Amino acid sequence: MPYINIKMTHEDGGASVEQKEALIKGMTEVFDKVIGRGAKTAVVIIDEVSTHNYGMGGKTINNIREEQKT
């Protein structure tokens, strides 16, 4: 059983239900096309991560973006 995990930032209200459904369908189709299995058994998980909850270089992404504005 394929397990596909999509991680993306949660910004501007996050992905809509329709966008998430399209991602799940599309990722399943691509996996099946490339690997040749999983059309009926692929599990797709979408994790939306707040930009307050990750960072680079010791700063949150929110702080980095604020610094880039100035």
Share above pLDDT 70 across residues of the chain, in percent, rounded to a whole number: 100
pLDDT of 63 reads: 94
Q: Determine which one of 2, 10, 23, 62 is catalytic.
A: 2
Output the average pLDDT for the chain: 95
Residue 47 has a pLDDT of 97
Q: Strands, DSSP E only, in the chain?
A: 3-10, 43-50, 55-56, 59-60
Please, which pLDDT band fits residue 70 given cuts at 50, 70 and 90?
confident
Provide the pLDDT for residue 18. 98
Check if 48 is active-site: no
Architecture of domain 3-69: 2-Layer Sandwich (3.30)
Q: Are 35 and 2 in contact (CB under 8 A)?
A: yes
Q: In angstroms, rounded to a whole number, what is the distance separating the alpha carbons of residues 55 and 58?
A: 7
